[in-house]
Amino acid sequence: MKKSILFSLLIVSLIGIPWTAMAGTPVKIEVLYMNHGPLQESLDEIKQVFSQYKDKVTVSWYDFDTKAGEAFMAKKKITQHTPLLIFMDDQTGFTVNGKELVFAGFPSGSGPAFFQGKWTMADLRKALDQLTGKK
C-alpha cells in the first residue's frame, strides 16, 4: 500500500514538474513615469498593451514624483529627467525587427517632440512577444 502511494506521488511529480517549468516565470516589467497630463493617453495605451499578456507579465508602476519613484530611480541609478522609462526583466534596451530600441520618453508621434522616443506601441508588443514567447 505504501509503495503504491509513493509510486503514485512519484508519477504525479514527474508529470507535474515539466508542466510547471514550461509555464515559466512572468516577465518583470517596471515602469517609471511622470503622472502628468500629456503622458496620460500613452500610459493608458501601455496599460492596454500589458493587459493583453495577463499572467505572462507582472507590472510595477513608479511615479517619478513620489518617494517610491525616487527610491526606484536611486536603485536603478537614474539621474536624468525622463517622462517614461520601461524596464523589462531589468533591461531597457531591446532589438525589435533588427532595430535597437529603448522604451523611454513618449512613443513616436505623441507628446512633445523633445521628449519623444523612437518606439511605437507595435514595437512594445513585439518586444513583449519575444520576451513571453507569445505568438
Burial environment of residue 102 by CB neighbours within 10 A (0 to 12, 13 to 18, 19 or more): middle
| 133 SS3 class | coil
**Integer Cα distance of 95 and 124 in angstroms:** 11
Predicted structure pTM score: 0.79
88 forms beta bridges with 29, 91
3-state secondary structure of 69: helix
pLDDT(2) > 80: no
Domains and CATH numbers, the chain: 25-132 (3.40.30.10)
| 79-123: pLDDT as tens digits | 988 899 999 999 999 999 999 999 999 887 676 666 777 899 999
What separation in angstroms does the CA of 125 have from each of 35, 43, 50, 93, 133? 22, 14, 8, 14, 11
Mean pLDDT of the chain: 83
* Residue 21 confidence (pLDDT) above 50: no
Cell digits for 107? 512613443
Residues 6+ apart with CB under 8 A from 71: none
Higher pLDDT, 5 or 84: 84
